[in-house]
Structure 1
Amino acid sequence: MECRAGCGACCIAPSISSPIPGMPNGKAAGERCVNLTAAFMCGIFGRADRPAVCSGFAADPEVCGDSREQAIRLIGWLEQATA
């Protein structure tokens, strides 16, 4: 599965404990990453300082569902289930 352009669910729903450019302490679940653009695209995609957890994320129908809204819910559920 290819990432849906303009989704950004993976930049909002999960917590990220590693430093992110502009967010040295990472981010909480449900918090928007400061690098997520207004068009819901990763502003640091392809950069060396992008966290490994972000670079390693692969879109999958099981996680992303059929829409941005489903992705937010599914990733949020996975976040809570694995906390």
Structure 2
Amino acid sequence: MKCREGCGACCIAPSISSAIPGMPNGKAAGERCVQLSSENLCSIFGKAERPAVCSAFAADAEVCGNSSEEAIKLLGWWERMTAA
């Protein structure tokens, strides 16, 4: 599966514990990443400063569903199920 351009769910729903430019302590689940543009595109995509966890994320129907709204719900569910 390819990412839906302008979805941004993976930059909003999950927590990210590693530093992100502009967010030195990472981000909480449900918090919008500061690197996510108003068009829901990553402004550091393909750049060295992009966190490894972000680069490693691969779109999959199990976590992305059929729409951006469904992706937010599914990724949020996975976040809650895997939170320590």
The alignment's TM-score, normalised by the length of structure 1, stands at 0.99
1:20 equivalent in structure 2:
20
In structure 2, give the amino acid aligned to 1:30. Answer: G
Give the share of equivalent positions with the same residue, in percent: 73
The alignment's TM-score, normalised by the length of structure 2, stands at 0.98
Query: Which runs of 4 or more aligned residues in structure 1 lie more than 6 Å from their structure 2 counterparts after TM superposition?
Result: none
User: Number of matched residues?
Assistant: 83
2:73 equivalent in structure 1:
73
Structure 2 Cα separation of the partners of residues 13 and 43 of structure 1 = 17
Structure 1 Cα separation of the partners of residues 22 and 6 of structure 2 = 21
- How is 1:1-83 mapped onto 2 (pairs within 5 angstroms)? 1-83=1-83
Unmatched tracts of structure 2, length 5 or more:
none
Shift of 1:22: 0.5
The alignment yields a C-alpha RMSD, in angstroms, of: 0.3
